[in-house]
Structure 1
Amino acid sequence: MSTKNDMLDLLRREALSVAEMCERLNVTRNAINVQLRQLEAESSVRRAKARPRGGLGKPAAVYEAAPGTEDLSSGAYQVFLSGLVEVLAKRLDEKALHEVMDATGRQLARESGLSKPADFETGLKAAMAAADALGASTDATAQSDGMLVRNYSCPLGSAVREASCMCRAMASFFSEATGRPATEQCLRGDRLICQYLIKLPASARRSR
């Protein structure tokens, strides 16, 4: 584990000063300060209420883990998501499962502020940026029948390999964000490459 992760683990348990972290982790003050500045920049830690000290002098600054950091190092999400989708696939018929995936993708776009774009280009750019922020690595290429968005890194890769229906959710995400119909055309060979074809009207395709 890195010093940074060790520090965050300590600060989840109790608020500590720099000197106390140095002592607990057996590292230099400089090493703590470097990682502490990074954790503060990431909003992972915050200053806690200073402890009163006996005698004169300014109280030492005390730090604690910020709210919302409880699951930063969690590896449970993909496992839980795969299990959840597996249960849904067993409990729902195909039509109902697809409706759930479509609704999930559209809700994700709306909650990200990507619904009702000013125009297609603006919506596509914002949707790709949002996907990249989630861990995708996207590019878009014009096709004879629309625009193909390709993700070279799939944020949901482990779950998608087990339940391909999840790709419908991301297709609906791009549809909601661009205002155009989108379908998934993912490649599931040795290497997973997610692809979404966004349909464009003939007039828009001719202008490209």
Structure 2
Amino acid sequence: MSTKTDILDLLQREALTVTQLGERLGVTRNAINVQLKQLEAGGLVRRQKNLERGGVGKPAAVFEAAPGAEDVGSAAYPVFLKALLTTVGDTCGKEALGDILEQTGRQLARAAGLSTPTDFESGLRAAMAAADALGASTEAIEQADGIMVRNYSCPIGSAVRQEPCGCRALAAFFSEATGKPVEERCLREGKLICQYLIQMKARKRR
């Protein structure tokens, strides 16, 4: 494990000073400080308080894991999502599951502030950037019947292979962000390639 991971693991158990962290991990104060700054910048660690000392000198800072850092190393989400989709589909039916996923995609766009684009182009760029930040790798391809958004790295790929209607969530996400109807045209044979056709009138060639 990296020193950063080790530090976070210790601070999730109890609040510690730089000196205490160095003693526990057997590394220098400088090494601890470098990693702590990165953890603080990422919002994973925060200063709890200064530890008062009897002697002269600056009080030692005490660090703790920040709220929300509990699951930063979790690998449970893909497994949990797949189980959740199966349970909802078995309980409510596939069509209801698809409707729920569509609503989820629109809610994701609204929560990200993407539901009121100033224009189509800016809405599309913002939606693609948001998808890429979640682990996608998107590109936009102009076609006669619209714009095809193609993604070669699906953030929910394992879940989509199990429940293809999961693609409706991302189609709805792009629809909410661009204000246009979007049709899912994903390829699932072999390598998964996500494709979402944003339907619009044929645009004039420049």
TM-score range (shorter-chain normalised) is over 0.9
Match of 1:49 in 2: 49
In structure 2, the residue matched to 1:31 is 31
Partner of 1:128: 128
Structure 2 CA distance for aligned equivalents of residues 69 and 86 of structure 1? 28
For residue 6 of structure 2, what is the aligned residue in structure 1?
A: 6
Per the alignment, residue 110 of structure 2 pairs with 110
Counting only pairs closer than 5 Å after superposition, residues 94-173 of structure 1 correspond to structure 2 as: 94-173=94-173
Q: Aligned partners of 1:33 and 1:94: how far apart in 2?
A: 51
Distance in 2, Cα, partners of 1:158 & 1:27: 39
Deviation at 1:207, TM superposition (A): 4.9
| Structure-1 residue corresponding to 2:21 | 21
Number of equivalences: 206
The one-letter code sitting in structure 2 at the alignment partner of 1:206 is: K
Residue 83 in structure 1 maps to residue 74 in structure 2: no
Instruction: Report if aligned partners of 2:89, 2:96 keep a CA contact under 8 Å in 1.
Output: no
Query: Residue 30 of structure 1: CA displacement?
Result: 2.0
The answer to which of 117-126 and 31-40 deviates more is 31-40
Greater CA drift, 109-118 or 53-62: 53-62
User: Which AA in structure 1 matches 2:4?
Assistant: K
> How much is the aligned-residue C-alpha RMSD, in angstroms?
1.3
Gaps of 5+ in 1: none
TM-score, length-scaled by structure 1: 0.95
3-state DSSP class of the match of 2:58? coil
The structural deviation recorded for 1:116 is 2.2
**Following the alignment from structure 1 to structure 2, what is the Cα–Cα distance between the partners of residues 195 and 26?**
50
SS at match of 1:72: coil
CA-to-aligned-CA distance 1:123-180 (integer Å, 9 cap, x gap): 1000001001111111101011110111111111111111111100000000000000
Residue in structure 2 matched with residue 92 of structure 1 by the alignment:
92
Unaligned runs of 5+ in 2: none
Shift of residue 117, structure 1, vs aligned partner: 1.2
| Deviations 1:96-115 (CA, angstroms, capped at 9, x unpaired) | 22211111111110111000
Question: Equivalent residue for 1:174?
Answer: 174
Residue in structure 2 matched with residue 206 of structure 1 by the alignment: 204
- Percent of aligned pairs with the same amino acid: 64
Q: Which runs of 4+ in 1 moved over 6 A?
A: none
